[in-house]
Structure 1
């Protein structure tokens, strides 16, 4: 398999000077009735003119001679090449590609919607032109394929797989690095350099989004309740210990149980507490 060959063509400015001299001699020949000189120099003038090429910054020219690859020019400026060469222009600028939002299944089988943003540029002009049919279509199809593989490699979050160390929705750096490696491997044969690759959009599919939101909310409520109960138990323990240390009042087991019950209700309740006046004894 051939690889890219970088060539340095002839200086175009010098060729342009020779072109002007040739043009002047042709005009001189016609004006001085020396037609033979003009006829001889005219094909040279045409070849010199046809061989001039201009390459803008971050652009390149791929050179072919009767279907055979001769090399690539990545310099910018005015150059002269063999006028028999066929040239193909190729941009070397960095370009963005945002994939379509596609529905795929994550590692746990949940349908999700995902898209990626890819920053890429042509690195090997030979591979981009001759190894694939259309490198831009190749990038689009291979990126979609890499996204599908990535989504199936990780769960969406920790709710489905609590033992997972990397998830799509939390470990963005790790996921983006995995995506970049996968896309780079796929696009290497097309001579494409992946500058950056990251997830642009990520969400549950509409048919399960509401259920997953309710599940997350329920988990958050349970976690919050756990913290509230844990704090309330600590406060009750501190209150009983403080009363006992200062000997303010002595409680038997029944009164301790009643106090603990009342404090837990007050501290863990959602609504505001409403005082109740006891008009009887403490035992009532």
Structure 2
């Protein structure tokens, strides 16, 4: 829960100070005594230490004699308790771009990974007093979370039931945000978004892994072509049999299946020889 600090409208206090100085000046001149002017000047110096100007989306934490008094969240000109220590905390959303980290994925492949984190301070008391430097805390914890996420998944996978860093960017981003929020809870920071900004194999294996990816892609494409071709042949034979256009032995059917598969799968123009069926 936010603790509001005691403050008074600064313009009212400033007007009272000016009025006090005028009264003391008139009184001193009338009585030919400088005591009132000196006393008023010292009082003004004392009160002026309590003035504070707060900007929009900035909070001012107030500490007096080692005791936390509260925070001013509203922008404006205020007067607080004199000799109060004032620390300003930015409440605006901040973008943090992590360094490119080199880690091993779950398969042991070295990869390069980085992320961008959008966060803001929502609890000034925690940000000021629970951690030494909340900005540095965010930086270190973000890099730790990124490393942890990178080691849980493979860079890429052909298994549709498994998550990968490259293939499931949205899911990885959501998990990274949840883990970061858990790690940064004690610092009073809210994570608005966390998303991978860089993902690549390490330079020493990039070339070989690219060849591996290409090989996997070719194998997967061939598998899909074969599966589709088999389905087409099954449909063709079934249709011919249903219409009574096909009466052949098992051997002849096998030859026809082979010829149809060659025709469908071949990347070049194929000229299969289909045996004539006699009744």
TM-score (norm 2): 0.84
- Counterpart contact for 2:263–2:271, Cα < 8 Å: no
Equivalent runs, 1:19-38 vs 2, <5 Å:
19-29=17-27, 31-32=29-30, 33-38=32-37
| Aligned residue in 1 for 2:269 | 272
CA distance in 1, matches of 2:9, 2:241: 99
SS at match of 1:7: coil
- Counterpart contact for 1:180–1:196, Cα < 8 Å: yes
The question of 1:106 aligning with 2:105 is answered: yes
Deviations 1:52-101 (Å, cap 9, x if unpaired)? 21111111212222333222222221111122112112211111101011
SS at match of 2:184: helix
- Counterpart contact for 1:101–1:201, Cα < 8 Å: yes
| Aligned residue in 1 for 2:174 | 177
Q: Offset of 1:222 from its aligned partner?
A: 2.2
| Aligned residue in 1 for 2:216 | 219
CA distance in 2, matches of 1:250, 1:192: 76
Q: Cα gap change, 1:275/1:229 in structure 2, threshold over 3 Å: closer, same or farther? A: closer
CA distance in 1, matches of 2:196, 2:239: 55
Q: Cα gap change, 1:78/1:261 in structure 2, threshold over 3 Å: closer, same or farther? A: same
CA distance in 2, matches of 1:212, 1:196: 30
Q: Cα gap change, 1:242/1:191 in structure 2, threshold over 3 Å: closer, same or farther? A: closer
SS at match of 2:69: strand
| Aligned residue in 1 for 2:46 | 47
CA distance in 2, matches of 1:86, 1:193: 26
CA distance in 1, matches of 2:112, 2:156: 14
The question of 1:137 aligning with 2:131 is answered: no
CA distance in 1, matches of 2:68, 2:10: 21
Q: Cα gap change, 1:208/1:24 in structure 2, threshold over 3 Å: closer, same or farther? A: same
Q: Cα gap change, 1:249/1:139 in structure 2, threshold over 3 Å: closer, same or farther? A: closer
Q: Cα gap change, 1:70/1:254 in structure 2, threshold over 3 Å: closer, same or farther? A: closer
Give the superposed CA RMSD.
3.0
CA distance in 2, matches of 1:181, 1:247: 63
- Counterpart contact for 1:29–1:35, Cα < 8 Å: no
* Uncovered stretches (5+) of structure 1, i.e. residues with no partner: none
* Uncovered stretches (5+) of structure 2, i.e. residues with no partner: none
| Aligned residue in 2 for 1:6 | 4
SS at match of 2:200: strand
Q: Offset of 1:103 from its aligned partner?
A: 1.0
The alignment of Structure 1 onto Structure 2 pairs a total of residues equal to 276
Q: Cα gap change, 1:246/1:183 in structure 2, threshold over 3 Å: closer, same or farther? A: closer
Q: Cα gap change, 1:16/1:269 in structure 2, threshold over 3 Å: closer, same or farther? A: same
Q: Cα gap change, 1:265/1:126 in structure 2, threshold over 3 Å: closer, same or farther? A: same
Q: Offset of 1:102 from its aligned partner?
A: 0.5
Moved more, 260-269 or 49-58: 260-269
The question of 1:56 aligning with 2:55 is answered: yes
